[in-house]
Amino acid sequence: MSNAKSSLKIAIAGLGVVGAEVARQVINRGDELSEAAGTPIEIVAVSAREPLLDRGVNLDGIDWYDEAPKLAERDDIDIVVEMIGGSEGVALDLARAALGSCKHVITANKAMIAHHGAELAQLAETNDVHLLFESAVAGGIPAVKSLREGLAGNRITRVAGILNGTCNYILSTMETTGRDFEEVLAEAQRLGYAEAEPSFDVDGIDAAHKLTILAAIAFGHKPDFKAVSIQGIRDVSSVDFAYANQLGFRIKLVGVAEPGLVPRMQTCLLPLASQLAKVSGVLNAVEYHGEPVGSVLAVGPGAGGGATSSAVLSDLIDIATGRGGLPFGRSINTLLDASVIENFAGPDKPFYVRLMVVDQPGVLATLTGILKKYSISIEGLLQQGRAPGNAVALVMTTHETSVANLGIALDEMEKLPIVKAKPVAMPIMLADRET
């Protein structure tokens, strides 16, 4: 897979924040990057929607294409850098065409890899080219390379991570300021941390795409986004942070993948002393557990032009030096289907449950009666203040219980006239090893 040409010629499709930064780095630091790559690197073509837009980089002498898939037709291009985004459409058309034309592909498109990674990996392997996507997961953290290379000799037992900086910023800010979700989300949008349409972030979808990729590499199965259990952060209230703090926990959106279990993206309570609980703001973190290494934690910026372009440049240099490797660390024909995942919920675990209930006699007896029916044991109860006849927050923590039993019990509670809002439940992680 080594490049025999006198220089490595690349095309960039998509000149947004990341694509423009990749172009800027290659153009302004060409000599330095070429030295690291062992061969000159040059951009020969680009494609984007607005050719006249000032992107802060001089693109004179570089061919412009209005239609990105046309880049795959150029015989002189060695690597296509796809920065368009989206699981379908132009990005997928370009990736298929480029790999089918024996061109290496580098992409930051986590959605495309989560949905179509197996197909694209097969194309890359068939045509003896590389498909690399370090920039698709956790930005500046070498999350993919850590699994595929640095920890390749380990039997991975768990991968857990904070994989979305927008959600981590919102939760961290809600905790420190006491403000509610909608207000902090609006602030994150003003600061550029959240999109105008934030669903992919706050509903956990973006992070679940990344978790899909990590799980596939860690446990040797084909990426299958449909197999991931996803919970976002919309249901978290400012009151939850006050209660969590009393209990010695911090609320985080954490992705967890373990062998034989459905990967899960979940809002949960972590002990204040745990490693992931200490990761705040827009940072990402990935925690690997394996044998014989034990536990490894990597923390860094998860998004933005600098962090993501850093990962793209790393992939460029890997291809130039012959270190590209296989997309998921092993031949596509050896990857198992998602049917290897046998258990949806995993082992029983304790939960934090918040109910908005009418403050009146008999409420607790009614609720505990339902819990008893489904073999759910209460570990503790918390309620701040009294408001006879009005709705108040009642928080309970449970002993270890099954997700299924708790879900049935909460559905039954929600139908009661004394329960005034949908119950909120989050798993409690008693130690890092249980995340």
Name 249's bridge partners. 271
Q: 3-class DSSP state for residue 256?
A: strand
Structure tokens at 86: 């989206």
CA distance 20 to 137: 19
Active-site residue, 110 included: no
**Dihedral through CA 87, CA 344, CA 426, CA 398, nearest 10?**
180
Whether the CB-CB separation of 86 and 78 falls below 8 Å is answered with no
Beta strands in 292-431 (DSSP E): 294-301, 351-358, 378-382, 391-398, 424-427
Strands 79-82 and 155-162, bridge-based pairing:
unpaired
322 to 1, 4, 295, 316: CA distances (angstroms): 6, 11, 29, 10
Question: What b/e string do you get for 332-351 counting C-beta neighbours within 10 Å, with b at 16 or more?
Answer: beebeebeebeeebbeebbb
Question: Which residue of the set 210, 222, 252, 349 is catalytic?
Answer: 210
CA distance 67 to 46: 10
Catalytic residue ranges: 210
